[in-house]
Structure 1
Amino acid sequence: MSSRSRSWWGWGAADEALPDAECVALGALVSDAVQTPLPVPDVAALALPKVRIEPPRALAPVMSAAPEDRASHTYGKAYRDVIRALNGDLAPAPDQVARPSTEQEVIDVLDWAADTDVAVVPYGAGSSVVGGVEYRADRHRAVVSLDLSSLDQVLEIDRVSRAARIQAGALGPGLETQLRPHGLTLRHFPQSFEFSTLGGWLATRAGGHYATLYTHIDDFVESLRVVTPVGVNESLRLPGSGAGPSPDRLFLGSEGALGVITEAWMRLQERPRHKASATVLFDDVHVAMDAVRAVAQSGLHPANCRLLDPGEAALAGVARDSQSALILGVESAHVPVDGRLAELLTLARDHGGTPLPTAPGTPNAAADTWRSAFLRMPYLRDALARMSVIIETFETACTWDRAPQLYESVRSQLADVVREVTGAAGTVNCRFTHVYPDGPAPYFTVIAPGRRGEEVAMWDRIKSAAMEILHDLGATVTHHHAVGRDHRPGYDRQRPEPFALALRAAKAALDPAGILNPGVLLD
């Protein structure tokens, strides 16, 4: 990304955003959508809040109050963030953007902030879709967005143990580029891979490439180094330990509220040399769920096991005629995988699936089509947002015994909410992104026409209803998007109160001045 400009208002690379004509054409596919796209504001013309604080001379070289920096660090990339940016609403903009190039400069920023009542919001690469990088507390003297993009190096590789010490600001592509000469890979590929950092993955417990077995970044952590306002916390590097509660687990998923992750020792893998994939069609989505459960419980551990319901399969262009599609993929660095794929396809056939014919050694066209649509979807979301189309995606997880009811209940109940909020039927689609022996992680997509000027309020009502439905069904409020601020109501209800007491105590002990990402996880 060093040679490409990031979009300050929307997803990813600025040159990948759809032009006006394509926005209009895409919006025309949604019934009752508005006819003209919201214009993209010129950063130079934005009315940013007045800068309330200047850094001390020692920190001035790592601080910026340039309008472009402040604008691009105001929000993450949730739908409500994109809409507000398009409307030029940058009221929560940080006063300064800090880009430290050493861990000592991170310490210095936190020390100064604690002494001057300045909130510090760790930014990662800004790809949060749950309000994780937006300051909403409105009780500090000023706000600094902490950007670790200059801390982006693989510092050390232990080839014997197959692990590496990596700085938290490393973006996905840069990280993999540094590992490639050694024949190694972290192989953690979330949808945001190109625009997110190792530190962001760790702080949000991100889900990645593997649909089974190694589903979260947690699975690759040997140890963490975390800067807190009361000192540096570095855990002992070990393959495993039974010595009390894990110190790493305290900071994994802490979303910058307890400390700033600056480095991590991560488990690596040999780069895969053998890959194979296939697509299986099902006429009944519930039969397909049974097949996926059999796969998840088989011990065959496919790297990819994505079930697309009829709406999602049609949207991605991989199936028609109300069919569901199961995309399977296997890989290995050491042995051929065709036999394992054949076992998986036998399971799928035994459960009513029909594999699409693919000649040995040739690409799986349906899987490639889905992957392209998957990577392109955030840009399409932004284009539809410019047409005031309401789009919401949320993910959850539940046990297999409740999965069929959850799928039907969420789709029917949320469809009613969408109709009430927008006055239109809209669509509610679903795919399984990750699967476990005891349950799936369903990922829902909502698309409906919105009303110009009311998009955020309409989205908020749909988001709130989705959290309420998940709570009533006993499912988690998030599987891998994190809590941020948008999921706080659902998280507060899901979290056991004794654990909440312990988390509050940890916050008070590690961040006594209350400056770290206020409002995330805790008030």
Structure 2
Amino acid sequence: MTERSWWGWGTVDRALSDDECVALAAGLPGLLGRPRAVPDLAGLDLPAPRVTPPAALAPLVSTAVADRAAHTYGKAYRDVVRALAGDLRAAPDAVAFPRAEGDVVALLDWAGSAGIAVVPYGGGSSVVGGVEYRGDGPVVSLDLTALDRVLEVDRVSRAARIQGGALGPVLEDQLRPHDLTLRHFPQSFEFSTLGGWLATRAGGHYATLHTHVDDLVESMRVVTPVGVSESWRLPGSGAGPSPDRLFLGSEGTLGVITEAWMRVQDRPRFKASASAVFPDMAAGMSAVRAVAQAGLYPANCRLLDPGEAALAGAAPAGECVLVLGVESAVHPVESRLAELVEIARDAGGTVTGADGGPDRAAEAWRSTFLRMPYVRDGLARMSAIVETFETATTWDRVEELYTTVRTEVGAAVEQVTGAAGMVNCRFTHVYPDGAAPYFTVVAAGRPGSEVAMWDDVKAAATEVLGRLGATITHHHAVGRDHRPGYDRQRPEPFALALRAAKAALDPAGVLNPGVLIDPPARVRS
């Protein structure tokens, strides 16, 4: 099995070499001459554990340095920088590895009676502080990845019962013999779990129609401190507020998702793609809006602005690129692609790759997309500032949002770093009524000040999105880093209901304190 990186993204063997880090940073003056070294696990200084599990649970609980270090942070830029600096003051006191749902129940009972915070942990790919405990009491990280089985397949209804700890490749491997797929592929697919996708309302492969994992849920089973919640398997229901909707997006603060019946589909047999080049973003946006409103539902509909297209090697001459892809399990897709291509041409696009040959722009973008988290880590080792944030707004405000964010966040980057940075954008998901722009910021940082500088850039982006009425997150979740924006976006009556649900389901307040809402004040004896 390939070794996971404890400090950064993905696997150890795919991280950038020192020479690759240096070459990557050549275009950003003022960075380190050589990348900072990755700390040796054996030399890490972690706080002493403050918890001792009962004898019956001891086999499930680890206080090993490697386990605690790997579960301290998620994979946000600020997480990577702190890990590289050996700053693991937030390390959990222990990591629990339940093997069955009954273990989850027992561990929550112990934590509730002992006043120990519990942070549910899937693949640990959060980029918003979703798995980092920021309180001052004892905490246990609850790693669900041993609950990783496809328990049952209903081929007639085309659904599967899957445990929440199953990583993306693990569940797909188990569905493949049935010629089925969940077909949910977030960028973190290799390193995130079904339970994590559900808890964060993750966005996946499809750029249109079924954009979020919400759309694939038939029913859920959730362990809360006061009991197990299991909804009925139904294709649809009008029976009051949906119990699944209570837990979708709850980010581990209301319960632990142990199983879900998911709507699966036959594996695609027919695929085709094409790209179109546009002279500017206004023309590209017009094309994407026409595609989104045509009811053709392409699986891929990614619009890259000039900076993003150049970074991917998809259009180095300053053009925008629209990447289109269609697929089907039952019939050829060439005619549908032809309709999409015609829409792009009508909007002024120059189309490539629609003749059945290789779509080089799409291939270049996909390669860059999968490699980007490793590139981010390489830049972090060179003291660059790297931030990504995504949002969504309606079509009547998309162009203003794109222009304002690039202008104002660009100005904030220059103020924070003292030099101009790069602010690129791509549209990851599109709808008939709007789009989800995804921004990438890269700038030179100052060694030792990277986290504070990142925080300042993040605050500027949060302020702009809130002022323009755009969501604080389309698919990255809230966690702790997006709390200011979420608090502004969320209606106050709903906040009251959420606090009441938290108090009812988690009366001791032990589940992921600080996510979505403030933790209750603890009475000290």
Q: Counterparts of 2:472 and 2:484 in 1: how far apart (Å)? A: 9
Q: Counterparts of 1:472 and 1:521 in 2: how far apart (Å)? A: 20
Task: State the one-letter code of the partner of 2:98.
Answer: P
Q: Is the 8 A contact 1:118 1:515 kept in 2?
A: yes
2:230 equivalent to 1:228: no
Q: Counterparts of 1:429 and 1:313 in 2: how far apart (Å)? A: 9
2:301 equivalent to 1:320: no
Aligned-residue identity in percent: 72
2:399 equivalent to 1:404: yes
**Residue aligned with 1:355, SS:** strand
Q: CA deviation at 1:33?
A: 2.2
357 and 257 in structure 1: CA distance in 2 versus 1, 3 angstrom threshold: closer
401 and 119 in structure 1: CA distance in 2 versus 1, 3 angstrom threshold: same
1:194 corresponds to which of 190, 195, 215: 190
Q: CA deviation at 1:329?
A: 0.1
Report the equivalent of 1:36. Answer: 34
2:443 corresponds to which of 443, 448, 455: 448
Report the equivalent of 1:342. Answer: 338
Deviations 1:492-515 (A, max 9, x none): 011000000000000000000000
Q: CA deviation at 1:267?
A: 0.0
The aligned runs of 1:58-69 (5 Å cut-off) are 58-69=56-67
Task: State the one-letter code of the partner of 2:251.
Answer: E
2:135 equivalent to 1:137: yes
Report the equivalent of 2:350. Answer: 354
Report the equivalent of 1:114. Answer: 112
Q: Counterparts of 1:127 and 1:357 in 2: how far apart (Å)? A: 34
2:420 equivalent to 1:425: yes
Report the equivalent of 2:521. Answer: none
Report the equivalent of 1:88. Answer: 86
Task: State the one-letter code of the partner of 1:78.
Answer: A
Deviations 1:70-91 (A, max 9, x none): 0000000000000000000000
Q: Counterparts of 2:390 and 2:163 in 1: how far apart (Å)? A: 29
2:378 equivalent to 1:383: yes
Q: CA deviation at 1:28?
A: 1.1
Q: CA deviation at 1:363?
A: 2.6
**Residue aligned with 2:441, SS:** strand
**Residue aligned with 2:211, SS:** coil
2:387 corresponds to which of 380, 388, 392: 392
The aligned runs of 1:178-257 (5 Å cut-off) are 178-257=174-253
Report the equivalent of 1:176. Answer: 172
Deviations 1:338-371 (A, max 9, x none): 00000000001001111014532x3322111111
The worse-fitting range, judged by mean Cα deviation, of 410-419 and 27-36 is 27-36
Deviations 1:145-198 (A, max 9, x none): 000110000000000000000000000001100000101000000000000000
Report the equivalent of 2:20. Answer: 22
Report the equivalent of 1:308. Answer: 304
Report the equivalent of 1:489. Answer: 484
Q: Is the 8 A contact 2:341 2:354 kept in 1?
A: no
2:364 equivalent to 1:369: yes
**Residue aligned with 1:367, SS:** helix
Task: State the one-letter code of the partner of 1:319.
Answer: A
Q: Counterparts of 1:276 and 1:382 in 2: how far apart (Å)? A: 33
The two structures, once aligned, show a CA RMSD in angstroms of 0.6
Q: Counterparts of 1:232 and 1:162 in 2: how far apart (Å)? A: 25
Q: Is the 8 A contact 1:429 1:446 kept in 2?
A: yes
Q: Counterparts of 2:164 and 2:130 in 1: how far apart (Å)? A: 17
Q: Counterparts of 2:478 and 2:172 in 1: how far apart (Å)? A: 27
Q: Counterparts of 1:392 and 1:297 in 2: how far apart (Å)? A: 31
**Residue aligned with 1:378, SS:** helix
Q: CA deviation at 1:19?
A: 1.2
Report the equivalent of 1:8. Answer: 6
Q: Counterparts of 2:50 and 2:106 in 1: how far apart (Å)? A: 19
Q: Is the 8 A contact 1:430 1:444 kept in 2?
A: yes
Deviations 1:283-333 (A, max 9, x none): 011111000000000000000000000000000100022100000000000
Q: Counterparts of 1:188 and 1:347 in 2: how far apart (Å)? A: 27
Task: State the one-letter code of the partner of 2:396.
Answer: D
Q: Is the 8 A contact 2:221 2:257 kept in 1?
A: yes
**Residue aligned with 2:259, SS:** strand
Segments of 5+ residues of structure 1 without an aligned counterpart are: none
Report the equivalent of 1:467. Answer: 462
Deviations 1:88-137 (A, max 9, x none): 00001001100000000000000000000000000111000000000002
Deviations 1:417-472 (A, max 9, x none): 00000001001000000000000000000000000000000000000110000001
Task: State the one-letter code of the partner of 1:311.
Answer: G
**Residue aligned with 1:28, SS:** helix
Segments of 5+ residues of structure 2 without an aligned counterpart are: 519-525
Normalising by structure 2, we get a TM-score of 0.98
Task: State the one-letter code of the partner of 2:242.
Answer: S
Deviations 1:348-405 (A, max 9, x none): 1001111014532x33221111111100000000000000100000000000000000
Q: Is the 8 A contact 1:398 1:439 kept in 2?
A: yes
Report the equivalent of 2:275. Answer: 279
Q: Is the 8 A contact 1:224 1:263 kept in 2?
A: yes
Task: State the one-letter code of the partner of 2:56.
Answer: A
Task: State the one-letter code of the partner of 1:322.
Answer: G
Q: Is the 8 A contact 2:273 2:354 kept in 1?
A: no
Task: State the one-letter code of the partner of 1:486.
Answer: D
Q: Counterparts of 2:501 and 2:208 in 1: how far apart (Å)? A: 32
2:59 equivalent to 1:75: no
Size of the aligned set, in residue pairs, is: 518
Task: State the one-letter code of the partner of 1:344.
Answer: L
Q: Counterparts of 1:184 and 1:371 in 2: how far apart (Å)? A: 23
Q: Counterparts of 1:337 and 1:30 in 2: how far apart (Å)? A: 43
Normalising by structure 1, we get a TM-score of 0.98
Q: Counterparts of 2:353 and 2:30 in 1: how far apart (Å)? A: 39
Q: Is the 8 A contact 1:173 1:193 kept in 2?
A: yes
